[in-house]
Chains A and B, each alone.
Chain A
C-alpha cells in the first residue's frame, strides 16, 4: 500500500457570523467596537501592540510579536532598505509613506496593498490577543504610513477570532506560541514543504515561533501555522515542557494531546490529527476577552501562574462591563 507521507492540517474554519451578531459586539475588544462606532482617529494601545485608527477604520497594526511592513518588504528584496528608509524620512511627516513608495516607483500598488494587509492582519492577531492590562486610546493624527487600505474593525476582529480557530484546529496547545521550540528527532519524519523546512532549520531549542518569523522575514501568524503543523506531525515540540504551565482551561488538552504521537504511529493521516472535525470552540470555552481563555496566543507564562483570584476575576468583569458601556 502506498502511504502518502504528508501532514494534512484540518480544514480552515469559518466563523458563525450569526452567533457573533447575537453577542452584540465582536467579542474581542469592546473599546475597539466603541471607537469604530464613533469613527475615532488615533492609536489604541493594548498589552501586545497598537492599532492605529483613522475615521474608525484600522489603518495599521503593530506588535512586537510580528514583523512590521518595512521588515517584510525588505527581508526578501521586494524593496531596497534604502528606499524604505528614504520614504519614511521624506513622507512620514505627511502621513503618506505608502503613497510615496508607489509614486516614486519603488513598489507596485498591488504589492504594497498585499503586503500591507498581510502585515496588518498579522500584527492585529497579536494585538487583539487576550491581555491582562486595560487598553488605552490616544486621539491623534493618522499613522505615518498613511491610509493604504483601511480595514473595518468588525472584519479585523472576526478574522482574528477565525485565526485562533485555525491554530486551535491544527494543534490545540495555546501555550506553545511564546516559548522556545526544539526538534524531536523521532523516526518517520513526514514530507515537509519548503516553508516548513525553512522553519525547521531555525528550531534550535532557544528560538520561539516569533523569533523564527523575524529571522526568516516571514509573517508571524503563518509561522505559527507552520510550527503547529510541525508539532502535529511530531517533528517539533516545546523545548522546556517543565517550565510551561498551560492556562487552567488547557490542562486537559496538554495532558492528553500535548505530546507528540508515539513513534510507532506515523504522525500522518486523518486519524492522528487533533481537533479534526471538532467545532471551532472545541474546548467548550466561548471566545471572550478573558485572559484565562488564551486561545491561540498566550504571552510568556510565568513560572508559577497564580491561581484565579475571585477578586481579580470580579475586577476584570467590571472592567469589561465598563468598557462595553
Chain B
C-alpha cells in the first residue's frame, strides 16, 4: 500500500526516468516530486504541466463517447486517462489519478527519450495511479 513518495520512487525506477511529480491541476501545486524537474524549477514545471492537464481534462473533444449523462457519478470518473508529450530528447507522460474525494491530481513522469520505453511507462504509470488511491 504505497504512499506518495513510494509511488514516485517506483516511477523513477522505470528505464530512462529523469523526474516524477504528483500535481494538482486546479491549483498547480506539486504534492510530491522526485528526481529532476523539467526546466530546472519544480514550481514552474508543476504549474505548466497543470495547465496542459487541465485543458485536456476539460475539453469535451477528448472525453469518451460512452458517457451518456449521470453527472452525479462524474466526480470520480476521469474523462482522460493520460497525455503524452514528446520532444527531441524526452517524453512526458501525464497520468490522471482517479480519486473519490474532490481531487484533481495527476502523475507527471519525465523520461529520457534514448532510454525510455513509452509503452512500458504508460502501463506502469496506470498501475501506480490506481494503487495510489485503491487499497
Name A residues whose Cβ lies closer than 8 Å to a Cβ of B.
6, 8, 11-15, 17, 72-73, 75-78, 102, 105, 107-111, 113-115, 117-118, 121, 149, 158-159, 162-163, 166, 191, 193-194, 197-198, 216-219, 221-222, 225
0/1 string, B1-14, CB within 8 A of A gives 1: 11110010000000
In the bound complex, residues from chain A placing their C-beta under 8 Å from that of B58 are: 6, 193
Could you count the A-B residue pairs with CB atoms below 8 Å apart for me: how many are there?
119
Answer yes or no: B133 CB below 8 A from chain A CBs: yes
With an 8 Å Cβ cutoff, the count of chain B residues facing the other chain is 40
CB-CB nearest in chain B for A108: B135
Main secondary structure of the interface of B (DSSP, over half): mixed
Q: Does B31 contact A (CB under 8 A)?
A: yes
Are A218 and B102 CB-contacts (below 8 A) given A13-B47, A14-B44, A117-B31?
A: yes
B43-A219 in contact (CB<8A):
no
- Point out which of A14, A105, A191, A221 has the most chain B C-beta atoms below 10 A from its C-beta: A14
In the complex formed, the residue of A with least CB distance to B22 is: A114
CB contacts (< 8 Å) of A15 on chain B: these are 43
Give the residues in chain A near B36, CB-CB below 8 Å: none
Alpha-carbon separation in the docked complex, A121 to B105 (Å): 14
Residues of A within 8 A of B47 (CB): 11-14
Q: Answer whether A118 and B3 are a contact pair too, CB < 8 Å, given A108-B135, A166-B28.
A: no
- In the complex, the answer to whether A105 meets B135 with C-beta atoms within 8 Å is yes
Would you call A108 and B43 a contact (CB within 8 A)?
Answer: no
Contact of B26 among A107, A216, A225 (CB under 8 A): A225
Listed A/B pairs (22) with beta-carbon separation below 8 Å: A12-B28, A12-B48, A14-B41, A14-B44, A15-B43, A75-B101, A75-B102, A102-B1, A108-B131, A109-B2, A111-B99, A111-B134, A113-B31, A114-B97, A115-B99, A159-B29, A162-B29, A194-B71, A198-B71, A221-B27, A222-B26, A225-B27
